[in-house]
A and B are shown apart, each in its own frame.
Chain A
C-alpha cells in the first residue's frame, strides 16, 4: 500500500509537464521548492526542537550562490553542467549554516530563535547595501545555458531538474532521521543535558544538524533561482522566513511529510487564488491562527488520526464526525473570507467604500447585518468544531 502510493506519486510528478501548461508547471516548481525548504526547516525543529526564525538566510544564500555560479558559467569562467549548479548554492548555504549554526546553537529556545532572526535580518540589511554581491534593488540576473542537448528553455525541462533534486533530497532528509546523528538529534530535542552525560558533544551535533538543514534550504533556494534566473535581496526577507514556519506548522511538524502538505498545499492555493484576492498572506495567517488554536499538531496529524478511525471503525459511525468537521471548516473559511475582504475594503478605501460584492451578493458596509453574519458564522464554526472534537474523542475511546 505504502509503495503503491509512492509509485503513484512518482508517476504523477513525472507527468506534470505532460499534463499541464507552463503556468501550472511553474506553480508545481514552486510547490516542490517550498516543500524541500519546509522539510529542511523541520529537520531542525522536529528533531532538535530548534525553532529557526531566520531560515531565509540559507534559502537566500542558496539563491545568490546559484545565480553567481550561473553568471560565471555564462562568462565562460566556469564549466559546470547547469543541473549541477544548485548544488553549489546548497554548499554555500551549508557553509553559512556551519558559521551561523555554530553561534546560534550555543543557545536553545527563545534565544536560539532570536539569534537566527538577527542573522537573517543582518544579511537582509547587507543585501540592500552591498551592490557587488547582491545587485541592489534590481538584484542579479543570469540565464540558463544549454547542456548535453538540453536547452532548458522551457519550464517543463527545468521542472525535471527541480524534481530530480527535490525527491532525492527529501529522501536524504528522511534517511538522516534514521542515522545515529538523526536519533541523537531527537534525543537532544528531548533532553540535551542527558545527552551530554552520555558522552556526546551536544553543541557539535546541533551545529551539524543546523548545517544539514541549511544545505537543503540552500538547495531549495538554488533550484528556485535556476528557474527564475533572477534574485534580489528580498529572498532574505522576513516573509520568506515566516512562510516556512507557517507552512511547516499548518502542515504538521510532527510527521515527516507534514511540512510538504503545508508548503505544497498553501503554495498551490496561493497561486490559484492570486487572481481572486490580493490578500493571500492574510488568509495564510488566519489559517495558522485557527490551526494553532484548534489543532496545533497540524493537518498531517489530523489526517493520520482520521485514517486510523476509518481503519478501525465501520464508516457509518464516522459520518457524523466528518460532517461536523466539514461544517466547521466551511464556517471558518466563510468567516475568514468575510472578515478579511470586508475589513480590507473598509480600511483601504475608507469612507468611499459603501458596498462589497461577495458570494454573489452585495453587502452594505454600514449595515450591522453584514458584520453580524461573520460573527454568527464563527460561533457556528466554533460550536461545530467543539462537537466534532467531542465526537472524535468518543470514537477514539471506542477504538482504544
Chain B
C-alpha cells in the first residue's frame, strides 16, 4: 500500500521532466542535470534530519538557523585556523548542529514546550547567535579553502554529467537512513511513537528519549548541511545563510508523503520530494521563466501534493467501508 505513494511521485517526476523536455529540447542537457544535482544535496541532508522529527509528531522549524549558525561558526574558525582538515570542518559543523538540536530536544522533551513554539523561538534565538558569533561580518570566499568548494565543483564524472561529492554525501546519508528505517530499533520506536504515543509509552518506549534523539539528529543534519552550504556557495552571510530554508525542507518532506500528523512516511518519498523540488527549480530557469515565479510554483506544488494525498485517502477509507 505504502509503495503507491512513491510510485505516484515517480510518475509525476517523469511526466514533469518529459513535459519540460518537450517544451525545451535543451532541458535534458548535461548542464541542467548538473544544476539539478547541485541544488539537491543540502535539501536532502536537512530533509533526512527532519524526517524522523515529523514522523514522531514534531517539527523542527529552527533548521534554517542551525544551518546558518553552523556555517558561520565554522567560517569564523576558518579565519583564525585556515589549515583545518575537511574532516575537522564537518566534525565542527556536526557538533554545533548536535548541540543546537539537543537544546531543542531539551525544551521539547523535558520543558514540555510544544515543538512548533520551541523551534520558532530557537529559530530567532539561533539567528541572533549567528550575528553575535560573526560580529555581523560576512564569511567571504577567501576564507573558505579550495578543498571545501571542490566538493561541490568536482566529483564522479560520467561522460559530461558530474555527480558532485556533495550529492554523493547526501545520497550516502539517504541510504543509511533508508536502511535504518528498516533495521534500526530507534526508527521503529519513532514510528511507534508517531502512530500512538500512549501505546508506545506502554510498550516501554521512552518519549523523552525518542524526542531527544530526533531533535539531536535533526540538528546534526542541519549542522552538516551548514558545511555543505559553505562548500556549495563559497560564502555565507549571517542574515541570509539558510534563512527561509526550513520551509523548503518541510515542504519537500510533506511532498514526499510524510504525514504531518506523524506515524508514516519513507526515506524514498523524502528523496523523491527533494528531487521534484530541485527539478522544478531548475526547470524554471531552463524554460526561461522569470525567477520571480519560483515561490508561486512551490506553493502550488505543495497544495497539489496535499490535495492528491487527501483525495486518495478519502477514496481508501470509502473502499474500506
Are A and B co-members of a single complex? no
Task: State the B residues within 8 Å of A (CB).
Answer: none
Task: State the A residues within 8 Å of B (CB).
Answer: none
